[in-house]
Amino acid sequence: MNTHFKSGLFAPALLVLCSAWLSTSVMAQADEARAKKIVGGSCFVCHGAEGESSSEVFPRLAGQHWEYTAKQLENFKSGKRKSTAMADMVAKLTPDEMVALGKFFEKQATPTETAKDAELAAVGKYIYHKGNKFSGLASCASCHGAEAKGTTALPRLAGQYAGYTETQLKQFNQRERTNDNAVMHAITSKMSALEMAAVAEYLSGK
Which CATH number covers residue 50?
A: 1.10.760.10
Cα of first residue to Cα of last residue in the chain, in angstroms, is 61
Residue-wise pLDDT tens digits, 87-119: 999 999 999 999 999 999 999 999 889 999 999
Q: Are residues 160 and 184 in the same domain?
A: yes
Residue-wise pLDDT tens digits, 24-35: 666 778 889 999
Q: Are residues 100 and 133 in the same domain?
A: no
More confident of the two residues 19 and 2:
19
Our CA dihedral for 105, 85, 46, 205, rounded to 10 degrees, sits at -70
**For the whole model, what pTM was predicted?**
0.86
Query: What's the structural domain count of the chain?
Result: 2
Which of 106, 126, 159 terminates a domain? The answer is 106
Q: Are residues 142 and 194 in the same domain?
A: yes
Asked if the model's pLDDT at residue 44 lies above 90, the reply is yes
Which of 106, 127, 151 terminates a domain? The answer is 106
Residue-wise pLDDT tens digits, 129-166: 999 999 999 999 999 999 999 999 999 999 999 999 99
SS3 of the chain: the string is: CHHHHHHHHHHHHHHHHHHHHHHHHHHHHHHHHHHHHHHHHHHHHHHCCCCCCCCCCCCCCCCCCHHHHHHHHHHHHHCCCCCHHHHHHHCCCCHHHHHHHHHHHHCCCCCCCCCCCHHHHHHHHHHHHHCECCCCECCCHHHHCCCCCCCCCCCCCCCCCHHHHHHHHHHHHCCCCCCCCCHHHHHHHCCCHHHHHHHHHHHHCC
Domain range holding 156? 118-204
Which of 77, 106, 135 terminates a domain? The answer is 106
> How many other CB atoms are found less than 10 A from the CB of residue 119?
10
Q: Are residues 102 and 138 in the same domain?
A: no
